[in-house]
Structure 1
Amino acid sequence: MIGLDTNILLRLFLKDDPEQCKLVEDLVEKLPEIGPGYINRITLMEFVWFLRRRSGLTRDDIMDGVAGLLDSADIVVEDEQVVEETLDVMRNSKVEFADAFIALRNREMGCRATKTFDKTAARAIPGMELLT
């Protein structure tokens, strides 16, 4: 496996630096031979955060991008099932990726609940509870 850093994913998705994008495209083409490419959950969280806060892309664009990573035969995403469930929660609510992922990952680790002050997240995410 070849680990992929956030900046590699950003070039792949945003195509905003021709020189670096060419290098990333070359790497992606080689993944069937040298890979697969591996995206850990921290990298994925940073990737989504950057896209949501800095790129001006919509939630739908970002969800499509993450779904595309999951669908790639040459990319392995850590906690893939949790990421898929996170996207489902996002599609059915207004919660952000990080909130859903954190609560769902905590559930996977055996937590009875994840406490929060975020009322929207507490209503929409299984296992997220409002701390009152």
Structure 2
Amino acid sequence: MIGLDTNVLVRYFAQDDIAQSKRATALMESLSAEKPGYVSQVALVEVVWVLGRCYGVDRGQMKDIIDSMITTKELVVEGADTVRKALRVFVTSAKADFADCLIERSGHAAECECTVTFDATASKVAGMRLLK
């Protein structure tokens, strides 16, 4: 298994740099169930941020991208079940930030009583508890 950095994943999905996208695609196509690529939750959060902010990828497209990463046998996504649950919250709320959704769902998976925040929006849409 080899780890995949955000920039490799972005080049693969965005296909925006001829040389780097070609190398990223070749690498991604070389992965297999026996030798998969590993996507950390940190890299996944960055991918969502970059694709959304820099490339205008909408929530529906983001869901498709993340779902494809989770379901392909050529990739191992850290905490895939938690990511899947965070993704559900993210796509059902127009204001939810994916990172906030993942932070809250990660806390839940770790059996935290709650996840506290000073972010009022995160407390409303991502299920966190506002710290007053």
Normalised TM-score (structure 2):
0.89
Q: Which moved more, 1:21-30 or 1:36-45?
A: 21-30
8 Å contact 1:2–1:34 — kept in the other structure?
no
8 Å contact 2:59–2:91 — kept in the other structure?
no
Cα deviation, residue 102, structure 1: 0.4
Percent of paired sites with the same residue = 38
CA distance in 1, matches of 2:92, 2:7: 29
**Consecutive unaligned residues in structure 1, runs of 5 or more:** none
The residue type paired with residue 12 of structure 1 is Y
CA distance in 1, matches of 2:25, 2:52: 23
Deviations 1:39-90 (A, max 9, x none): 0111111111212222222222222211111121100000100110011111
For 1:108-119, list aligned pairs within 5 A.
Answer: 108-119=109-120
8 Å contact 2:33–2:74 — kept in the other structure?
no
Task: Give the aligned partner of residue 103 of structure 2.
Answer: 102
8 Å contact 1:11–1:17 — kept in the other structure?
yes
How many pairs align? Answer: 131
